[in-house]
Amino acid sequence: MHNFKKQFGQNFISDKGLIDGIVGDAKINKDDIIIEIGAGLGSLTKELAKCARFVYSFEIDKDLIGELSKLEEQYDNLKFIFEDFMAFNFDSLKINKFKVVANLPYYLTSPIIERFLVLKPESMTIMVQKEVAERLSSEPDNSEFGAMSVIIQHQASVKITRIVDKKMFTPVPKVDSAVIHIEFNGKNYDQGFAKFVYSCFTFKRKTLYNNLTKSAKLDQELIEKIYDNYRYYRNRLRSNSQRARFYQY
């Protein structure tokens, strides 16, 4: 029996129906190259290998080498990489088009997603904490809407495909999870834009003006100019909208 390691955030999927659901949500075909983060005991990995052209599966827990090596011998389109994905030289794989399917370790969810925003896969189908899924897929004017919502939705559409009860994992975690499907639109990751967005959300109880002056350290005159332009175009949009409603009647 495997000795689950808390430092790696190990919660393995124990429900076959859920595994099949994740594979279906990912829309995998025989031409796809798949990147998986966190192979665990390989239950999801095996199903991915049955559907895809090739699967690269990352696993940081070297105690699993023996078990997963047996699985690798069964599938010639499967390779396990026993390294930390966040430190791995991804260029060494020499792949351009790929999809991501993973049950992410929850303590690394944001860093892993941010790295993939740079790498630009075709899509990501990932298991995350339910509250994180709600945050990433939330819309403006929603209390869950935040910096990461803006940044990821600039590059992709985000949809919750299923809510997952915590009892479907071994060991059972403290919170429920959700599967989200992220479809990328081809835009590049802009580090300057991301930094600006994080600045806007740094102090939630302060106004946007204060956030931009204190966190982003923007010149006050520049901020005033941005606000003036915003008010101008907002008023024009409202005026055009009212005019359009008038002509409908």
Model confidence over 115-144: pLDDT tens digits? 999 999 999 999 999 999 999 999 887 888
A 10 A CB-CB count for 186 gives: 8
The residue ranking higher by pLDDT, 135 or 237, is 135
A 10 A CB-CB count for 169 gives: 20
The residue ranking higher by pLDDT, 62 or 213, is 62
| Pairing outcome for strands 12-13 and 169-170 | antiparallel
Percent of the chain with pLDDT over 90: 54
Q: How confident is the model at residue 204 (pLDDT cuts 50, 70, 90)?
A: low
Q: Which tokens in the block code for residue 203?
A: 């102090």
**Does pLDDT of 56 surpass 90?**
yes
How high does pLDDT run on average in the chain? 84
Residue 197's pLDDT is 86
The residue ranking higher by pLDDT, 171 or 70, is 70
